[in-house]
């Protein structure tokens, strides 16, 4: 089986799908991936004429990481550069902001989350077809290998050429989103709580930029922040939260303007946006109003 470059994030909200205590009809056809039969436990099923596969078994076979987060009630499968999301409110799924066709919803069957085979396969670059002679669903390597949607790797390389001296702070901060975005919630008190950063609304998958050069001191899942990155710039620290994917690792030296992640809705968030913070003294040190430090 061929390997695939790039990162895919599939977010499936668990609370919106009905649970079926009795298993659907077991699949009486083969699934062939690059000519090899796909088998797993539990087995794929046929539901209302559509093939459903167990999410964890399929994506782990494809080399993706699979996580379940009880607090946010979502299941995630991810790699790089691409995002696939199924919203909890029943809206169409999104692949890097585009609406792909969805033949049937994901659902829980006997406590296992099953997802549509076509959506799962096409999201990571497979071409899906039916072979009546073999009575088989054929999955073959397609034209989208993960870098075709956003080309984040190419953008990052271009920025590394444009911005010199990775890891060195310039002493000033730039706007942290490619293409602008709109402030949806400012720094300060809101609804009786203090908001420690600035929320900037932007389409799902929008490149997030290092506001200044520095060293990545955190990259991962951080509770309500979701998937986030923290960069140290001398005595200042900048945080970028709710990513759909992080594109840098702890210890990496980044240049101002370098792509470090992509806008998402991970953690405690109601829509795709970047939560941006500037702090002093440490990762969770006193906060500052980012707008006072940013020059667009």
Give the CA distances from residue 278 to residues 196, 221, 268, 272, 294, in Å, rounded to whole numbers and listed in that order.
9, 19, 19, 20, 10
| CATH 3.50.50.60 at 152-295, yes or no | no
Q: Rounded mean pLDDT of 59-86?
A: 57
Above 60 in pLDDT, residue 290? Answer: yes
Report the pLDDT value the prediction gives residue 273, as an integer from 0 to 100: 93
Report the pLDDT value the prediction gives residue 198, as an integer from 0 to 100: 93
Which two three-digit tokens encode residue 274?
A: 């970047």
Closest C-alpha to 270, from 67, 68, 72, 84 = 72
What's the CA gap between 38 and 164, in Å, rounded?
47
Q: Rounded mean pLDDT of 251-276?
A: 91
Report the pLDDT value the prediction gives residue 11, as an integer from 0 to 100: 57
Decide if 107 contacts 115 (C-beta within 8 A): no
Sign, Cα dihedral of 22, 25, 30, 31 = negative
Residues 176-187: tens digit of each pLDDT:
999 888 899 899
Above 50 in pLDDT, residue 164? Answer: no
Report the pLDDT value the prediction gives residue 78, as an integer from 0 to 100: 57
Q: Confidence class of residue 149 from pLDDT cuts 50, 70 and 90?
A: very low
What's the CA gap between 68 and 115, in Å, rounded?
14
Region(s) of the chain under CATH 2.70.70.10: 152-295
Give the CA distances from residue 295 to residues 22, 128, 244, in Å, rounded to whole numbers and listed in that order.
58, 47, 25
SS3 content of the chain, % helix, strand, coil (to 5): 10, 45, 45
pLDDT, the chain, mean: 74
Report the pLDDT value the prediction gives residue 1, as an integer from 0 to 100: 47
Name residues whose C-beta falls within 8 Å of residue 223's C-beta, 6 or more positions apart in sequence: 71, 267
Residues 199-243: tens digit of each pLDDT:
999 998 899 999 999 999 999 888 889 899 999 998 899 999 999
Report the pLDDT value the prediction gives residue 103, as an integer from 0 to 100: 67
Burial class (CB in 10 A: 0-12, 13-18, 19+), 167: middle
Decide if 276 contacts 288 (C-beta within 8 A): no
Q: Confidence class of residue 90 from pLDDT cuts 50, 70 and 90?
A: very low
What's the CA gap between 161 and 220, in Å, rounded?
26
């Amino acid at each position: 089986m061929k390997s695939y470059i790039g990162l895919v994030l599939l977010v499936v909200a668990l609370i919106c799908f009905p649970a079926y205590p009795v298993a659907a009809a077991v699949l009486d056809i083969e699934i062939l991936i690059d000519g090899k039969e796909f088998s797993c436990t539990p087995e794929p099923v046929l539901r209302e004429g559509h093939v459903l596969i167990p999410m964890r078994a399929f994506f782990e076979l494809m080399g993706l990481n699979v996580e379940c987060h009880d607090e946010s009630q979502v299941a995630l499968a991810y790699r790089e550069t691409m995002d696939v999301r199924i919203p909890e409110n029943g809206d169409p799924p999104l692949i890097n902001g585009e609406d792909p066709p969805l033949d049937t919803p994901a659902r829980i069957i006997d406590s296992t989350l099953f997802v549509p085979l076509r959506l799962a396969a096409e999201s990571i670059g497979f071409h899906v077809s039916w072979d009546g002679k073999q009575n088989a669903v054929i999955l073959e390597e397609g034209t989208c290998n993960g870098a075709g949607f956003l080309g984040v790797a190419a953008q990052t390389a271009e920025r590394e050429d444009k911005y010199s001296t990775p890891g060195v702070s310039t002493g000033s901060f730039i706007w942290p989103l490619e293409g602008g975005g709109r402030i949806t919630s400012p720094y300060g008190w809101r609804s009786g709580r203090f908001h420690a950063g600035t929320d900037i609304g932007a389409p799902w998958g929008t490149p997030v930029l290092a506001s200044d050069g520095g060293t990545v001191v955190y990259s991962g899942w951080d509770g309500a922040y979701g998937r986030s990155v923290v960069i140290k710039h001398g005595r200042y620290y900048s945080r970028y939260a709710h990513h759909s994917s992080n594109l840098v690792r702890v210890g990496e030296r980044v240049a101002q303007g370098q792509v470090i992640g992509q806008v998402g809705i991970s953690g405690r968030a109601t829509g795709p946006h970047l939560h941006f913070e500037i702090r002093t003294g440490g990762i969770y040190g006193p906060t500052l109003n980012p707008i006072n430090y940013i020059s667009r």
